[in-house]
Amino acid sequence: MTNGDAGPHERSYRKGPERRAQILLSAMELFAERGVGASLRAIGEAIGVSHAALRYYFANRDELLVEVYRTHEARVHKAQAHEGSAGSEVSAVAMMENSAERNRSIPGLVELYATLTTDALQEQQHPATREFVQARYRRVRADLAERVRAGQRSGAIAADVDPDDAAALVVAASDGLQLQWLLDPDAVDVRRSLEVLERLLPGAR
């Protein structure tokens, strides 16, 4: 808690996180418009932040990319909590449908996500990205596996489906479909394809 009379030290302490959040927002807009390809220096130029300032907040391009994605996820979680749209009765597939629907409206986001995932495969060049992506997948799979278990308890999903196998399948389907849709929007419909999967893995009854 701070009061209105915060001294200069406190003000600069408060300014840091705000400036950082502002940079993340500008970077997110840049990625949405022009893609993720640029270097940290080019990102700085495009969003009007000096390379030194950018480096003050983010050690390197990987860290900026991860933080932009993390910011997006935090917003989504906040919106879900507000809408009450993440209850355990929502099926694993419906969760991914909703997430894909949100990503659709943020053009650079699927590209950012694909870049993070591909970078993560290169352990030596991108160790922090790998750690973030691994942890994210584990978290998402654990959440979806819980939804599959809820479906099984209610009798909607066959008891002999392994919840962890099914969870990995649902995340994979959602990731892969969003990629195919970006490459060929007229040929691929993410929601319709996920609805095929939902026949097998419906929500709790």
Q: Return the percent helix, strand and coil in the chain, to nearest 5.
A: 75, 0, 25
Residue identified by tokens 């278990």 is 149
Interface with its own copies, residue 137, by CB under 8 A: yes
Q: Is 39 exposed, middle or buried (0-12, 13-18, 19+ CB in 10 A)?
A: exposed
Q: Which x/- pattern over 138-177 shows residues binding its own copies (rule: CB under 8 A)?
A: x--x----------------x--xx-xxx-xx-xxxxxxx
Task: State the DSSP code for 39.
Answer: -
Interface with its own copies, residue 105, by CB under 8 A: no
Phi, psi at 5, each rounded to 5° = -95, 25
The neighbour count for residue 7, using CB atoms within 10 Å, is: 9
- Nearest-5° Cα angle at 121, 132 to 126: 60
Least distance between its own copies and beta carbon 106 (Å): 14
Q: For residue 130, what are its two tokens?
A: 């790998």
Interface with its own copies, residue 192, by CB under 8 A: yes
Among 2, 39, 50, 125, binds its own copies (CB under 8 A): 125
The neighbour count for residue 18, using CB atoms within 10 Å, is: 9
Least distance between its own copies and beta carbon 31 (Å): 11
Q: For residue 202, what are its two tokens?
A: 């419906």
Q: Please, which residue, 89 or 131, has the CB nearer to its own copies?
A: 131
Least distance between its own copies and beta carbon 65 (Å): 12
Is-contact 109 178, C-beta < 8 A? no
Least distance between its own copies and beta carbon 81 (Å): 26
Among 53, 110, 128, 156, binds its own copies (CB under 8 A): 110
Interface with its own copies, residue 64, by CB under 8 A: no
Is-contact 158 81, C-beta < 8 A? no
Applying CB under 8 A, the span of 4-12, 20-28, 59-67, 112-120 interacting with its own copies comes to 112-120
Contact positions with its own copies (CB under 8 A) in 34-53: 35-37
Is-contact 36 112, C-beta < 8 A? yes
Applying CB under 8 A, the span of 13-21, 57-65, 68-76, 197-205 interacting with its own copies comes to 197-205
Task: Using CB under 8 A, list all residues that contact its own copies.
Answer: 35-37, 110-111, 114-115, 117-118, 120-122, 124-125, 130, 133-134, 137-138, 141, 158, 161-162, 164-166, 168-169, 171-177, 179-180, 182-184, 187-189, 192-197, 199-200
